[in-house]
């Protein structure tokens, strides 16, 4: 199994015919006026490519957010997925949108979302939190 892509967006959704709709895709930096800070909502978009031998069975997915010191932030997001085997030995694809609500960041620095499938680390999506008094910090909530 391969992760074709994984990225953060302001919002995203998939359609029943496999299309992906993304608003504000490619987030890799968030500004906050002060810390701790809470980001109200973002989506992690994920597309996996499965070999035919990996189809028709359940797979476990875990998403972990780690802080700059390598500590787990909050709990894990976990779920299960499967894919239908395609004719002719073609690979199958699974596209998921994971909603991340009220993510809390204790301080500035390099955070990372770790994608773990069936107990194996598959991908890391980096996110840098930066302190800023400017207008770009208005979208994030402040928590004391």
How do residues 17-51 score in pLDDT, each as one tens digit? 889 999 999 999 999 999 999 999 999 999 999 99
Mean pLDDT of 1-16: 96
CATH code of the domain made up of 2-142:
2.60.40.1930
Is residue 142's pLDDT more than 60? no
The torsion region of residue 17 among left (phi > 0), alpha (psi -120 to 50) and beta comes to alpha
70 SS3 class:
coil
Question: Cβ distance 3 to 108 under 8 Å?
Answer: no
Mean pLDDT of 61-88: 95
Mean pLDDT of 108-132: 97
Q: In the prediction, which pLDDT does 134 show?
A: 72
Q: Tell me the C-alpha distance between 131 and 137, whole Å.
A: 8
Q: Tell me the C-alpha distance between 125 and 86, whole Å.
A: 29
Q: Tell me the C-alpha distance between 57 and 124, whole Å.
A: 24
* Residue that the structure tokens 């204790």 belong to: 106
Is residue 119's pLDDT more than 60? yes
Mean pLDDT (the chain, rounded): 92
Q: In the prediction, which pLDDT does 140 show?
A: 58
Residue 17 DSSP symbol: T
Q: In the prediction, which pLDDT does 133 show?
A: 78
Interstrand relation of 120-131 and 29-32 (parallel, antiparallel or unpaired): parallel
């Amino acid at each position: 199994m391969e992760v074709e892509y994984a990225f953060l967006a302001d919002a995203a959704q998939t359609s029943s015919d496999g299309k992906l709709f993304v608003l504000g895709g490619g987030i890799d930096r968030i500004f906050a006026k002060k810390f701790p800070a809470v980001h109200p909502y973002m989506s992690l978009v994920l597309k996996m490519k499965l070999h035919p031998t990996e189809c028709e069975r359940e797979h476990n997915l875990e998403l972990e957010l780690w802080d700059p010191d390598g500590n787990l932030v909050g709990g894990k997001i976990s779920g299960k997925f499967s894919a239908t085997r395609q004719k002719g030995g073609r690979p199958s694809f699974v596209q998921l949108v994971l909603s991340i609500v009220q993510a809390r960041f204790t301080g500035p620095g390099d955070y990372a979302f770790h994608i773990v499938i069936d107990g194996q680390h598959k991908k890391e999506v980096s996110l840098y939190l930066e302190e800023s008094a400017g207008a770009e910090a208005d979208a994030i909530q402040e928590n004391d």
